C-alpha cells in the first residue's frame, strides 16, 4: 500500500485525548494514538504506579524501564499533574477545555469527589467524550469491588472455561482482561465520537471490564441459554462442536513442542482432514480406514466420541514425528487448517510479519538504543495507522504542554513543581 | 438518538470476525445487512452448536443468534455471475461500509475486490478482516480463530508449565480483531467526513492479537526471555489464584499485591499463627513459599461459600471474586444492573438472551431490539423497499437463482 505513513495523515490526527488511565485502560488511548490522535498521558507527580510492572528493559527495575509501560503507552506524550491539588484541577480544567476525549480509570466517584467528575467536565467542554473505565462499571452492586486481572477473568466467567477438570480454573498467565477492556473501550469511545460528529454533543462512556470479557469466550454461555447445558473447562480439548457431546483434541505433542490441530467439519474442515490423511499417507502412516473415509459425508456436529477417538489415535502418532516448523510449512502448502503453538521467539521468525512490515523500531535515545515494537494494527489504503513515538518519560512533555501550548512561564512551572502540583 | 443511526453497512461475511463487527455497529443503530445464500449459509448456522434442543436447523443456532441480532439477512448467490455481481454492486452502492472476512483474494475472484467496488462507490469504506492479512507470503492461508490464537502466542501462555497448552474457548482472537475493526471503521468514517475519501482497511486478526502480548514480544527481543505459561501465578502478587469453596466445583479467586492487602487478608483469616511466620512476611517470602501459601489459603476457603468469602474480603479491601459459571453470568446482579442481556423471542429458538454492548453511552440507547434474522428473511423488504428493485425484477432474480 502506498498511503502516506506520517502521523498527520492518520485518520484521527485532528483530535486530542487526555489519558488518565492505569493499566486497565492503557490500550484505549494507545489505539486512538495508533490512529493518529494526539494522546497526552496525565500521570501523578513521580509517575504512574504501572511503571512498576514488569518485564523490564535488561531486567532493571526502574520506572523508566518498564517494557509493560513502553508497549502500551507508545504514541502518547506525557505530563505530570496532581489532581488532588486545587491548582492541579485548575490546570486540568484548561486542558479539558481544549481536548476532544478524556479517558480515565479511577475508582467510581473519585473524580466527582474532587469536583472534576463528568458533570464538571461536560460544563467546561460540552463536546467532550469522557470514557470511564472500571472493573465493573460506574454504578451497580459490584461497582465498588476492587479487581485485578484474575478477578475480572473470574467474574466474567472466562476462568470457568479454562483449566483441567478437577483442578482449579485458570486465567491466561499474561493478564489479558486489561487489553480487552482497553480495546473495547476504544470502540465505545469512537462510537460516542461519531455521534458527536453528527450532533456536536459529547457524552460519557461507562465501560465495564467484566462485560468486555464476555466476548472473549464467544458463545459458551448460549449452551446454557438454549439447552441448559453447562460448558466447563476441558483442558486441552474442545467441547461444544458435536451435539453428541464428543470432545476434540486441540493440542498435540510434536517433536519440539505442541501443535494446534482440530478435526473440524464444514468445507474447510473436510478439505483439511483429507489433506492430512494424504500427508500421513505420503509417510506411510495413514491407516486404511482413514484413507477410505468419505469426508464429504463427515458431519462434525453429529460425530460420536468413539469415532473421534479412533481418528485421533493415528493422527497423534503421526504428529509425534513432525516439528512445529515442518507443520507450519505443510499447513500453508497443503491449505490445511491448523497452526503450531508459537512462542514469542517463533513469532519473531514468521516471514509473514516481515513481508507486511509489521515490526517497527522506535528510538529510545535515553537508553542509547532503539526497540522493536508491534506496528500499527491495520493497514489503511488512504491514511496511516502505526507507531510513531516511544512512550513518554515521567513529565517529559511538561514544558511542551504547559509552557509552549498553555503559555505558562518557566518560573510558574518551577513553582508548581516545588508545590507538588506537577 | 442512537449514535450510529443512518450508517449503512453490508456484510459479505460469516462466522465471527466480520459479523460481530457489524453486530456492534447495529447495537448503536447502524442498518446492517448480512448477506448469505441457501447454497452457502453462514457457517455458524450450518455446523456450530448449540442448536435449540440439540436439533440441528439453519435458524436454531445460538452462536449465529448471538453474532447477528438486529441485522437484516438477505440471500445472494455470488457464484451466479454476472447477474449476482451486478446486484452485489448495487448493494455496495447503497452502503457506506462493506465488511468482508473471506480468505484474501476471494472478493477479487468474485469480481468484488476493493478496486472494483471503489468504481461503484468512490468513498466506500471496506473492512477486509482476515487471518494473516491481505498480502504477504501466507496471506491466502485460511484459518479459524481457535487456531490463530495459538500462532499468536496465547495458548502457549495458558496452562501449567509442565503440561500441555490449554484452550481458550472459541475463536478468542477473532473478538480481539473485532474491537480493532470497529475502531478502524469509525476512524475511517471520520477521515471520509473530512476529506471525502473512503479506504480499505486491511485488518489481520494475527496482528491485532499480537498487540495483546506486546510486552512479552519486547521482553524476548530485548532480554531474550521466552514467556511461558505459569497457571494462575503472577510475579507481582501472592497469594494469586483460584481456591476451592463449599459446593461442587465452586471456586473463588483472591489476589494480594501489597503488604497492606496481605495484612487485611490475615485479619479476615483470623490472624492464624502460620500467617505470622517469617516465610510469609514479605512479598518475596510469599512468592518463595507460594505452594505452601496456596495450600493454607485453600484450607481456609474450602468450607466456606464462595460468595461469602468474596463479600468478606471485598469489605476488607482485598481483591476477590467468585469464579462464575456460564449459568452464573446470566444471573450476575452487576451485569443485570447494566442491562447486559436482553431477552427476545425467536420463532425457532424461543426466548434467547441476546448480548448488549460492554459500554453504556449516556446519550445513546443501545440495542439490540430485534432478534437475529432467519435465513433470507429480509429478501423482499431489502431488495424491493430499500434497494428499489421492481417486483418483476425481484421475481426474475429469484427464478434465476441469483437471490437464493
Strands (E), B85-150: 97-100, 125-130
Average pLDDT, chain A: 96
B189: number of Cβ within 10 Å: 21
**CATH fold of B8-212+338-399, please?**
Rossmann fold (3.40.50)
Q: Do B329 and A214 touch (CB under 8 A)?
A: yes
Contacts of A2 in chain B (CB under 8 A): none
Q: Is B236 exposed, middle or buried (0-12, 13-18, 19+ CB in 10 A)?
A: middle
- Which residues of B are the active-site residues? 174
B183 to chain A, any CB pair closer than 8 A? The answer is yes
Distance CA(B186)–CA(B181), nearest Å, equals 9
Q: Tell me the pLDDT tens digit for each residue of A211-270.
A: 999 999 999 999 999 999 999 999 999 988 888 888 999 999 999 999 999 998 888 888
Q: Do A214 and B355 touch (CB under 8 A)?
A: yes
Q: Best residue in B215, B226, B235 to probe A by mutation, most A CBs within 10 Å?
A: B215
pLDDT of residue B99: 98
Q: Please name the residue of chain B whose CA is at the shortest distance from the CA of residue A3.
A: B199
Contacts of B43 in chain A (CB under 8 A): 266
At residue B257, φ and ψ (nearest 5 deg) are -105, -15
Contact A161, A250 (CB under 8 A): no
- pLDDT cut 90: percent of chain A above it: 92
Phi-psi region of A335 (alpha: psi -120 to 50; beta: other; left: phi over 0): left
Contact A232, B325 (CB under 8 A): yes
| Across A289-307, average pLDDT | 89
DSSP-assigned letter for residue B232: T
CATH 3.40.50.10540 occupies which residues in chain B? 8-212+338-399
DSSP-assigned letter for residue B6: T
Give the SS3 label for residue B284.
Answer: helix
| Across A269-288, average pLDDT | 95
DSSP-assigned letter for residue A135: S
Q: Do A221 and B54 touch (CB under 8 A)?
A: no
pLDDT of residue A264: 87
Contact A392, B228 (CB under 8 A): no
Nearest to B189 by CA among A102, A3, A379, A190: A190
Helix/strand/coil percent split, chain B, to 5: 45, 15, 40
ipTM of model: 0.98
Please check the confidence at residue A181 and state whether its pLDDT lies above 90: yes
CATH 3.30.1540.10 occupies which residues in chain B? 240-325
Nearest to A145 by CA among B301, B298, B332: B332
Distance CA(A271)–CA(A262), nearest Å, equals 13
Grid cell of A88 as nine digits: 492541579
- The CATH superfamily label for domain B240-325 reads formyl-coa transferase, domain 3 (3.30.1540.10)
Q: Do A260 and B360 touch (CB under 8 A)?
A: no
Strands (E), B5-71: 8-12, 31-36
Q: In terms of DSSP bridges, do strands B97-100 and B8-12 run parallel, antiparallel, or are they unpaired?
A: parallel
The tens-digit pLDDT sequence of chain B (404 residues) is 999 999 999 999 999 999 999 999 999 999 999 999 999 999 999 988 999 999 999 999 999 999 999 999 999 999 999 999 999 999 999 999 999 999 999 999 999 999 999 999 999 999 999 999 999 999 999 899 999 999 999 999 999 999 999 999 999 999 999 999 999 999 999 999 999 999 999 999 999 999 999 999 999 999 999 999 999 999 999 999 999 999 999 999 999 999 999 999 999 999 999 999 999 999 999 999 999 999 999 999 999 999 999 999 999 999 999 999 999 999 999 999 999 999 999 999 999 999 999 999 999 999 999 999 999 999 999 999 999 999 999 999 999 999 99
Contacts of A335 in chain B (CB under 8 A): 141-142
The maximal CA–CA distance of chain B, rounded, in angstroms, is 86
Q: Do A67 and B219 touch (CB under 8 A)?
A: yes
Q: Which of residues 319-348 of B touch A (CB under 8 A)?
A: 319-330, 332-335, 337-338, 340
pLDDT of residue B62: 97
Nearest to A233 by CA among B247, B169, B154: B169
Grid cell of A176 as nine digits: 489479558
| A261-270, A306-315, A355-364, A367-376, range with the lowest pLDDT | A261-270
Grid cell of A421 as nine digits: 502540583
- Going along chain A from its start, the domains and CATH numbers come out as 7-215+356-418 (3.40.50.10540), 236-341 (3.30.1540.10)
B179 to chain A, any CB pair closer than 8 A? The answer is yes
Nearest to A177 by CA among A205, A147, A204: A147
Q: Do A332 and B138 touch (CB under 8 A)?
A: yes
Q: In terms of DSSP bridges, do strands A251-254 and A248-249 run parallel, antiparallel, or are they unpaired?
A: unpaired
Cα angle for residues B234, B239, B245 (degrees, 5° grid): 115
Contacts of A70 in chain B (CB under 8 A): 215, 218
Q: Do B4 and A342 touch (CB under 8 A)?
A: no
Q: How far is B366 from chain A (nearest CA, A)?
A: 11
pLDDT of residue A2: 63
DSSP-assigned letter for residue B25: H
Q: Hunting for cell 471525502 — which residue is that? A: B196
Nearest to A301 among B56, B190, B198 (CB): B56
B283 to chain A, any CB pair closer than 8 A? The answer is no
Contact B328, A224 (CB under 8 A): no
pLDDT of residue A4: 79
pLDDT of residue B365: 97
Contacts of A247 in chain B (CB under 8 A): none
Nearest to B44 by CA among B332, B357, B372, B297: B372
Contact B72, B95 (CB under 8 A): no
Sign of CA pseudo-dihedral B36, B40, B41, B47: negative
**Cα Rg of chain A (Å, integer):** 26
Contacts of B63 in chain A (CB under 8 A): 218-219, 222
Q: Do A238 and B146 touch (CB under 8 A)?
A: yes
Nearest to B202 among A190, A217, A378 (CB): A378
Cα angle for residues A182, A185, A189 (degrees, 5° grid): 135
Contacts of B255 in chain A (CB under 8 A): 148, 150-151
B106: number of Cβ within 10 Å: 18
A53: number of Cβ within 10 Å: 19
pTM score, whole prediction = 0.97
B158 to chain A, any CB pair closer than 8 A? The answer is yes
Contact A29, A183 (CB under 8 A): no
Q: Which of residues 210-269 of B touch A (CB under 8 A)?
A: 210-223, 225-237, 240-244, 249, 251-253, 255, 257
Q: Please name the residue of chain A whose CA is at the shortest distance from the CA of residue B343.
A: A225
Q: Do A208 and B54 touch (CB under 8 A)?
A: no
Contact B156, A342 (CB under 8 A): yes
Nearest to B352 by CA among B70, B18, B24, B84: B70
Contacts of A68 in chain B (CB under 8 A): 215
Q: Best residue in A70, A339, A360 to probe B by mutation, most B CBs within 10 Å?
A: A339
Amino acid at each position: 500500500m502506498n498511503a502516506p505513513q506520517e502521523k498527520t495523515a492518520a485518520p484521527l490526527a485532528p483530535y486530542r485525548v487526555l489519558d488518565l488511565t492505569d493499566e486497565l485502560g492503557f490500550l484505549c488511548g494507545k489505539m486512538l494514538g495508533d490512529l493518529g490522535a494526539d494522546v497526552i498521558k496525565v500521570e501523578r507527580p513521580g509517575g504512574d504506579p504501572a511503571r512498576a510492572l514488569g518485564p523490564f528493559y535488561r531486567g532493571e527495575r526502574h520506572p523508566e524501564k518498564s517494557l509493560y509501560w513502553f508497549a502500551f503507552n507508545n504514541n502518547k506524550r506525557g505530563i505530570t499533574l496532581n489532581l488532588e491539588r486545587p491548582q492541579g484541577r485548575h490546570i486540568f480544567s484548561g486542558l479539558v477545555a481544549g481536548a476532544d476525549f478524556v479517558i480515565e480509570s479511577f475508582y467510581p466517584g473519585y473524580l466527582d469527589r474532587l469536583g472534576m467528575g463528568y458533570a464538571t467536565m461536560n460544563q467546561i467542554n460540552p463536546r467532550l467524550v469522557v470514557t470511564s473505565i472500571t472493573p465493573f462499571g460506574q454504578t451497580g452492586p459490584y461497582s465498588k469491588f476492587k479487581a485485578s486481572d484474575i478477578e475480572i477473568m473470574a467474574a466474567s466467567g472466562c476462568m470457568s472455561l479454562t483449566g483441567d477438570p478437577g483442578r482449579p480454573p485458570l486465567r491466561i498467565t499474561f493478564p489479558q482482561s486489561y487489553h480487552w477492556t482497553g480495546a473495547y473501550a476504544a470502540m465505545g469511545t469512537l462510537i460516542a465520537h461519531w455521534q458527536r460528529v453528527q450532533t456536536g454533543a459529547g457524552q460519557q462512556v461507562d465501560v465495564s471490564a467484566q462485560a468486555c470479557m464476555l466476548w472473549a469466550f464467544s458463545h459458551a454461555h448460549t449452551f446454557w441459554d438454549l439447552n441448559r447445558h453447562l460448558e466447563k473447562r476441558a483442558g486441552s480439548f474442545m467441547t461444544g462442536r458435536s451435539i453428541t457431546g464428543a470432545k476434540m483434541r486441540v493440542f498435540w505433542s510434536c517433536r519440539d513442542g505442541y501443535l494446534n490441530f482440530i478435526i473440524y467439519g464444514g468445507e474447510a474442515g473436510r478439505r483439511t482432514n483429507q489433506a492430512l490423511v494424504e500427508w500421513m499417507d505420503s509417510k506411510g502412516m495413514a491407516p486404511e480406514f482413514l484413507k477410505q473415509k468419505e469426508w464429504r459425508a463427515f458431519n462434525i456436529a453429529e460425530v460420536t466420541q468413539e469415532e473421534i477417538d479412533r481418528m485421533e489415535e493415528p493422527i497423534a502418532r503421526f504428529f509425534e514425528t513432525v516439528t512445529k516448523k515442518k507443520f507450519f510449512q505443510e499447513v500453508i502448502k497443503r491449505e490445511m487448517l491448523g497452526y503450531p503453538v508459537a512462542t514469542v521467539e517463533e513469532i519473531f521468525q514468521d516471514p509473514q510479519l516481515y513481508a507486511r512490515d509489521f515490526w517497527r523500531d522506535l528510538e529510545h535515545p535515553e537508553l542509547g538504543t532503539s526497540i522493536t515494537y508491534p506496528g500499527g494494527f491495520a493497514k489503511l489504503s488512504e491514511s496511516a495507522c502505526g507507531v510513531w513515538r516511544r512512550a513518554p518519560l515521567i513529565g517529559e512533555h511538561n514544558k511542551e504542554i504547559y509552557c509552549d501550548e498553555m503559555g505558562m512561564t518557566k518560573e510558574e512551572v518551577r513553582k508548581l513543581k516545588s508545590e507538588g502540583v506537577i | 438518538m442512537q449514535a450510529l443511526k443512518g450508517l449503512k453497512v453490508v456484510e459479505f461475511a460469516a462466522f465471527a470476525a466480520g459479523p460481530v463487527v457489524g453486530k456492534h455497529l447495529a447495537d448503536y443503530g447502524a442498518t446492517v445487512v448480512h448477506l448469505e445464500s441457501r447454497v452457502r449459509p453462514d457457517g455458524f448456522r450450518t455446523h456450530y452448536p448449540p442448536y435449540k434442543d440439540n436439533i440441528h436447523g439453519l435458524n436454531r443456532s445460538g452462536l449465529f443468534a448471538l453474532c447477528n441480532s438486529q441485522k437484516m439477512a438477505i440471500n445472494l448467490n455470488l457464484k451466479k455471475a454476472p447477474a449476482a455481481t451486478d446486484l452485489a454492486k448495487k448493494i455496495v452502492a447503497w452502503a457506506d461500509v462493506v465488511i468482508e472476512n473471506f480468505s484474501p483474494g476471494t472478493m477479487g475472484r468474485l469480481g468484488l475486490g476493493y478496486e472494483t467496488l471503489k468504481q461503484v462507490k468512490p468513498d466506500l469504506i471496506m473492512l477486509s478482516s482476515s487471518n494473516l492479512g491481505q498480502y504477504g507470503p501466507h496471506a491466502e492461508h485460511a484459518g479459524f480463530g481457535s487456531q490463530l490464537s495459538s500462532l499468536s502466542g496465547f495458548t502457549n501462555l495458558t496452562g501449567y508449565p509442565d503440561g500441555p497448552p490449554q484452550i481458550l474457548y472459541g475463536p478468542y482472537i477473532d473478538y480481539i480483531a473485532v474491537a480493532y475493526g470497529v475502531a478502524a471503521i469509525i476512524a475511517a468514517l471520520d477521515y471520509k467526513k473530512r476529506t471525502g475519501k473512503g479506504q480499505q482497511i486491511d485488518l489481520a486478526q494475527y496482528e491485532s492479537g499480537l498487540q495483546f502480548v506486546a510486552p512479552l514480544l519486547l521482553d524476548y527481543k530485548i532480554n531474550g526471555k521466552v514467556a511461558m505459561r505459569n497457571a494462575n501465578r503472577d510475579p507481582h502478587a501472592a497469594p494469586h489464584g483460584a481456591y476451592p469453596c463449599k459446593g461442587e466445583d465452586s471456586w473463588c479467586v483472591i489476589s494480594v499485591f501489597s503488604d497492606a492487602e496481605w495484612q487485611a487478608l490475615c485479619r479476615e483469616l483470623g490472624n492464624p499463627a502460620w500467617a505470622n511466620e517469617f516465610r510469609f512476611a514479605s512479598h518475596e517470602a510469599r512468592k518463595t513459599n507460594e505452594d505452601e501459601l496456596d495450600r493454607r489459603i485453600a484450607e481456609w476457603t474450602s468450607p466456606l461459600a464462595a460468595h461469602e468469602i468474596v463479600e468478606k474480603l471485598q469489605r476488607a479491601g482485598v481483591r476477590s471474586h467468585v469464579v462464575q459459571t456460564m449459568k452464573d453470568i446470566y444471573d450476575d446482579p452487576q451485569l443485570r444492573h447494566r442491562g447486559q442481556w436482553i431477552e427476545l423471542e425467536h420463532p425457532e429458538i424461543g426466548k434467547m438472551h441476546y448480548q448488549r454492548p460492554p459500554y453504556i453511552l449516556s446519550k445513546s440507547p443501545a440495542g439490540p431490539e430485534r432478534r437475529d434474522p432467519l435465513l433470507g428473511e429480509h429478501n423482499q423488504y431489502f431488495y424491493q423497499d430499500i434497494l428499489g428493485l421492481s417486483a418483476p425484477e425481484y421475481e426474475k432474480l429469484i427464478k434465476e437463482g441469483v437471490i437464493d
